[in-house]
Structures are given as C-alpha cells and as structure tokens.
C-alpha cells in the first residue's frame, strides 16, 4: 500500500479530510528545516569540558570509560577491561574500517571475530558514531559496518569512540548524522549506560533488554578546543 493510500485510510477512519494547505505547508517546513529545540546550558562547554562531562555521565549511568591516546592503544585497553571483569578474550567486532585498522595483533591473546552478533556472544565491540555529553549517551546508527545486533545481543558491549565525534547536545548529534549519513538510516539507537529496568517491584535489574555491561574506549584524537 502506498503512503497516500495509507494516509487516506487513516483519515477515513478518523472521519477527517486532508489537512488544510497552511497546515501541510507547516509540516513540510518542519521536515525540511529541522527546527532546533532547546539546548541545555550544561552542554554548551569547551570541547575538553564536554569530554569530561561525557565521562562523568557515562559513569553515573553505570557504564565505564577508558581514555586512550590513539587507536593503537585500543587493544591494550580492551584486553585490560576484559581481564579486570574476568571476561573471555573472544569478542565479535563490527566490520567497520576504522576498527579493522586497529593493530589487534599487538595483543595476540585477543580472539577477534567480525560480523553480526549471535545470542551466544559474550562480548561485542562496536564503532561509536557519536557521543552526546549532555547525558553521556552513545548514538549508534545501523549500517552494514555497524550491525545493530552488536548493541543488543552480547552481555558486555564495548564501544570505541573518538573524542572528535563527541558533541554537546542531542541536536548536534542529529545534525552530524544528517550530514554524514545523508539522511536517516533504518535504525538509530541512543544508548545511555547498560540496559536496565525497574519494572518489577521497583528493583533495578541490569541487562533487562540488552547488555548488562557498557564500556567506552574513548580515543583522544587531538581535536582542538572548541565551544559547544
């Protein structure tokens, strides 16, 4: 069924006709211009302070962060985290070119596989598209090089994120996505800490709908200070 046929069926069910021209113009304008919403003052910081705010918020939301100097330091950071959590050295990794360029061979004990995650995978490593300092949130859009299953199926999720991909507010992350991906992908996940729920007797349960552990390896790629 075409979009117009679906809308016509909905209008018929609601006993409504087509929207007046002025309302249609208003809706088209909102879709074309992406009007800005309020941006919290706490995110309007110099970039270094946005990085600090992001780290604090990730930690506050039961996640953890390791700050490294470059991509070459990522294998050590991942290995140290896995050892500290008594986790297996095998993990499934997104087939993203940046992740594949990392010298994983420097830690030969790491057993690296690439592709989509399966329910049996204990650890996944995902490429971070953007980080949002305002709330310590990761933006993870779906793409062939960023399988969504990596965000959901593994019990422990590790995300490699460059500091240059960290922004202050949600609006800026959506701007970045529209520019760099040319539009909306099929799926965009906004991840703030590990999966958790308090639906049952108001008791916090980690891993309710996804990973129970979230670890961010934050790569300081030398971006100069800038205002948020």
pLDDT band at 24 (very low <50, low <70, confident <90, very high): confident
- Asked, for residue 228, whether it belongs to a domain, the answer is no
E strand or H helix at 32, and its extent? helix 21-33
Rounded Cα gap, residues 99 and 222, in angstroms: 18
Average pLDDT on 98-125 reads 96
- Asked, for residue 225, whether it belongs to a domain, the answer is no
Task: Report in angstroms the alpha-carbon separations of 204 from 138, 195, 207, 208.
Answer: 21, 10, 10, 9
Positive or negative, the CA dihedral 79, 85, 87, 93 is negative
- Same domain membership, residue 95 and residue 9: no
Rounded Cα gap, residues 147 and 115, in angstroms: 7
- Same domain membership, residue 101 and residue 64: yes
Rounded Cα gap, residues 131 and 138, in angstroms: 5
pLDDT recorded at residue 31: 66
pLDDT recorded at residue 18: 72
Residue 156 has pLDDT above 80, yes or no: yes
Instruction: Tell me the pLDDT of the chain averaged across its residues.
Output: 88
Number of compact structural domains in the chain: 2
pTM over 0.85: no
57 touches 214 (CB < 8 A): no
pLDDT band at 226 (very low <50, low <70, confident <90, very high): very low
Residue 2 domain boundaries:
1-33
């Amino acid at each position: 069924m075409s979009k117009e046929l679906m809308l016509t069926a909905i209008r018929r069910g609601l006993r409504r006709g087509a929207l007046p021209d002025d309302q249609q113009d208003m809706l088209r304008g909102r879709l074309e211009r992406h009007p800005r919403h309020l941006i919290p003052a706490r995110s309007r910081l110099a970039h270094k302070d946005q990085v600090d705010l992001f780290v604090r918020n990730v930690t506050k939301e039961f996640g953890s962060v390791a700050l490294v100097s470059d991509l070459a330091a990522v294998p050590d950071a991942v290995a140290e985290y896995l050892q500290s959590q008594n986790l297996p050295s095998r993990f499934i990794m997104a087939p993203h070119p940046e992740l594949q360029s990392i010298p994983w061979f420097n830690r030969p004990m790491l057993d690296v596989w690439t592709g989509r995650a399966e329910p049996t995978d204990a650890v996944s490593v995902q490429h971070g598209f953007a980080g949002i300092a305002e709330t310590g949130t990761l933006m993870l859009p779906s793409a062939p090089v960023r399988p969504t299953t990596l965000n959901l199926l593994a019990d422990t999720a590790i995300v490699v994120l460059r500091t240059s991909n960290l922004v202050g507010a949600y609006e800026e992350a959506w701007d970045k996505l529209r520019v760099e991906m040319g539009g909306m992908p099929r799926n965009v996940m906004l991840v703030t800490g590990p999966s958790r729920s308090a639906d049952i007797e108001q008791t916090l349960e980690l891993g309710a709908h996804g990973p129970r552990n979230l670890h961010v390896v934050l790569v300081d790629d030398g971006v100069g200070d800038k205002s948020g």
